Structures are given as structure tokens and as C-alpha cells.
């Protein structure tokens, strides 16, 4: 497994590695697993208990990963699994790549700085190259598979769908943060994800403005970075102009215990994303039994099923109506939806994800033996 990144990992990718690597090592069909990661992440991943982690020289990316490629040739693996939409050139072993980031393919430019937009364009080109070069492609939803086949012109026969899992990790005690002290349990909405234009939080702010005095408080968990700082400032001005400054809490990045508190204590979790591969945070909300309000943009219905209250993508009035509809749910209806959410989430297990990943790796290996 080669974690071919620029040196950073998103929170979702970290969770993926913590869930998948130990299970891959334990899978009876996997004789040995060598895991490679950038040198900047070596200490972090080893501390996470993922077992031995190997790396490559600091300057290897500038040299086209010559050292990494030489190491892999020496190891002569049956297959190389790259859980990002990148591939290594001139590698003898079959490669399996995963497409799990849809922003570069669906929302590459909207609302971003020039540098971030150019980065997305480069990522989209790298995804095209990787998917064309790979022996097999793992898409984390049928929506991703459709985009890869249609937009990237990758033959459908070499694309397989492997959903991510949810749950299965140790439980931490519930833990609110100082930023959430004024939120009364059961009274607030919860939204989470990095503060990027593709998350669509501006739609949620506008919908709350339409709700007026009846608008519930909103807790927003998520990082902002230099590339999206201007979007964050625009969002804050939007909040102020709508008179919602006292009702929206931007809590920044929350840890697992604080996220669990948000899911389990909120009135409802709201997802407004405009570019998703597999909505892992919304899936976590289902796992925790949250009421969910979601855009109907693919792949949300594919993954979340009938558990959420849906609104038409981009329809602010429809989102406001859906938020208002939360108050019309009887206690029995709310509990039925929470139970439906848990049942839906229970169908997405990491054990199944690993089993189907290994199926794909085996198929790639068999293809070069013919």
C-alpha cells in the first residue's frame, strides 16, 4: 500500500487508514503488507498503531519517485494499492488506485483561490492519468464510478465499487468543547467538514436566514486553510448580514469525542455538500442515530438511503422547509428515523470494505497472469 500524497492527510483519510490497515494485515488472503507513506507522516502513522511503515527520501517526489519505484521493483509485490487517485510510472506490478475526492472532478474552481483552483486542476489531471494507467480502479460509490467512466473516459470493466465502512473503532466518552458550552443538547443543528466552497455551507446559512427568529443554533466543525480563507471570510460576512452571528458557532476541527458529542446531542445533522465521493461524515451521523437533513445530490441517496429528510440540491427554500419539517416530526417519527439511520449505517462495515478491496487486488493480480 503506497499512500502517495503531497505530505498531508485529511481527517477522513486518517480514519480510513486506521480502519483498513490493521484489517488488511489480518486478512487471511494477504500474505504480507508493506505500507509506504511520506516522510512527514511517518511518526504519526506509526504512533497510530498501524504497524511497520516505510517511506521514501524527502526529495523523491521532485525526482519522480525514483527511489520509491526502485524499492517497489526490488520487493516485486503481487500488486500495488494506491488509495489516492495517483499512479507511479514505469512500475512492473499491477496498480490499483482509489478515487475518493470528487472536488477536483466536480467543483475544481468554484470559490477557491487561484492556487487552490490550479491545484484542483492538477489533481483532476493526475486522477485521469492514474485511472488510465491503473490495472483496476476502486470507486467508493456508484456515483464516483459513473464520473470516472464518463468524465475520465475509463473503461467501466476495470472500475469496481467498494464502499467505505463506519464504526468498529473504540468509543471515547462524550466530550463537549468550550466553544459548545452555550448549546443546549437536542436544540442545535450540526454540520461538519472542512470549510471549503464545495461543502455548500452558504446554502445552510441562507436557509437559516429564511427561518428567521425560529432558526435553531448551528454548530459547524471543520478546518479552514490558507486556500479557503477568503471563502471563510465571505461566509462570516454572510452570517453577520443575516443577523445569525450569535446563533452559529464555528468550532474548528473537533476530535473524535467532540464529534461524537455533536452527533449524539444535536437535533439534526445537516449536509449540503456539492462534491462527495462517499459522505463519510453523514454516514457517521447515521451510525450515531442522528436525524439527518441532506441534499439529494449524488451520491447522497445512494449511500444514506431513506433515513434523511432530503431537499433538492441548491434549493435554499427547500432546505429551509426541510429544517422546518424537523419540528413537525412527532417523537415516534423522530425515533423511527433514528432507528432507520442506525440500520442503514450497519450495512456499511469496514470488514466488507476490506474484503471487497482484497477481491479487487486479487483481480488485478490475476489479470497480469493471463
* 255 grid coordinates: 476530535
Give the chain's domain count: 2
Bridge-based pairing of strands 309-311 and 292-295 is parallel
Residue 5 lies in a domain: no
% of the chain surpassing 70 pLDDT: 98
Q: Please check whether residue 171 lies inside any domain of the structure.
A: no
188 and 72: one domain?
A: no
Same domain, 312 and 363: no
Are 104 and 209 within one domain? no
Judgement on whether residues 25 and 71 belong to the same structural domain of the protein? yes
User: What's the pLDDT score for residue 173?
Assistant: 65
Is pLDDT above 90 for 289?
A: yes
Same structural domain, 359 and 233:
no
Q: Is 202 found in the same domain as 253?
A: yes
CATH number, residue 63: 3.40.50.2000
Residues 52 and 201 in one domain: no
Q: Where in the sequence is the domain holding 147, given as residue range(s)?
A: 11-165+350-369
Question: Looking at the structure, do residues 242 and 128 belong to the same domain, yes or no?
Answer: no
Q: Contact 135/97 with Cβ under 8 angstroms?
A: no
Is 4 part of a structural domain of the chain?
A: no
* Percentage of the chain exceeding pLDDT 90: 72
The pLDDT-based confidence of 171 (bands split at 50, 70, 90) is low
Rounded Cα–Cα distance for residues 327 and 338 (Å):
15
Q: Decide: pTM greater than 0.85.
A: yes
Q: Evaluate if residue 169 carries a pLDDT over 70.
A: no
The beta-carbon contacts of 6-9 under 8 Å, at least 24 apart in sequence, are 6/38, 6/61, 7/38, 7/40, 7/41, 8/40, 8/41, 9/41
- Both 294 and 361 in one domain: the answer is no
The C-alpha cell 443538547 sits at 185
pLDDT confidence of 223, banded at 50, 70, 90? confident
Amino acid at each position: 500500500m503506497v499512500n502517495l500524497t503531497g505530505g498531508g492527510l485529511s481527517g477522513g483519510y486518517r480514519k480510513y487508514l486506521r480502519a483498513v490497515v490493521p484489517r488488511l494485515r489480518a486478512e487471511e488472503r494477504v500474505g504480507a503488507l508493506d505500507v509506504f507513506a511520506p516522510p512527514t507522516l511517518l511518526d504519526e502513522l506509526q504512533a497510530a498503531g498501524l504497524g511497520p511503515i516505510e517511506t521514501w527520501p524527502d526529495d523523491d517526489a521532485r525526482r519522480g519517485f525514483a527511489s520509491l519505484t526502485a524499492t517497489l521493483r526490488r520487493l516485486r509485490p503481487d500488486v500495488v494499492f494506491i488509495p489516492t487517485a495517483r499512479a507511479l510510472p514505469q512500475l512492473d506490478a499491477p496498480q490499483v488506485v482509489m478515487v475518493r475526492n470528487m472536488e477536483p472532478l466536480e467543483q475544481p474552481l468554484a470559490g477557491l483561490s487561484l492556487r487552490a483552483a490550479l491545484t484542483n486542476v492538477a489533481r483532476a489531471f493526475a486522477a485521469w492519468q492514474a485511472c488510465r494507467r491503473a490495472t483496476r480502479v476502486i470507486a467508493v460509490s456508484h456515483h464516483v464510478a459513473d464520473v470516472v467512466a464518463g468524465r475520465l473516459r475509463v473503461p467501466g470493466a476495470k472500475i469496481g465499487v467498494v464502499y467505505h465502512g463506519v464504526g468498529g473503532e473504540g468509543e471515547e466518552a462524550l466530550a463537549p468543547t468550550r466553544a459548545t458550552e452555550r448549546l443546549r443538547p437536542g436544540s442545535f443543528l450540526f454540520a461538519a467538514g472542512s470549510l471549503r466552497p464545495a461543502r455548500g455551507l452558504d446554502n445552510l446559512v441562507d436557509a437559516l436566514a429564511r427561518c428567521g427568529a425560529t432558526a435553531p443554533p448551528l454548530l459547524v466543525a471543520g478546518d479552514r486553510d490558507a486556500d479557503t480563507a477568503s471563502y471563510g471570510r465571505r461566509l462570516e460576512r454572510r452570517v453577520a448580514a443575516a443577523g445569525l452571528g450569535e446563533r452559529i458557532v464555528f468550532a474548528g476541527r473537533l476530535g473524535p469525542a467532540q464529534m461524537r458529542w455533536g452527533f449524539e446531542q444535536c437535533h439534526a445533522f445537516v449536509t449540503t455538500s456539492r462534491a462527495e465521493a462517499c459522505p463519510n461524515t453523514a454516514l457517521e451521523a447515521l451510525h450515531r442515530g442522528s436525524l439527518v437533513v441532506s441534499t439529494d445530490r449524488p451520491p447522497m441517496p445512494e449511500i444514506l438511503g431513506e433515513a434523511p429528510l432530503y431537499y433538492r440540491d441548491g434549493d435554499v427554500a427547500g432546505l429551509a422547509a426541510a429544517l422546518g419539517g424537523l419540528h413537525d416530526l412527532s417523537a415516534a417519527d423522530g425515533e423511527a428515523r433514528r432507528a432507520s439511520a442506525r440500520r442503514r449505517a450497519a450495512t456499511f462495515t469496514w470488514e466488507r470494505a476490506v474484503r471487497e478491496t482484497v477481491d479487487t487486488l486479487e483481480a488485478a493480480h490475476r489479470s497480469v497472469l493471463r
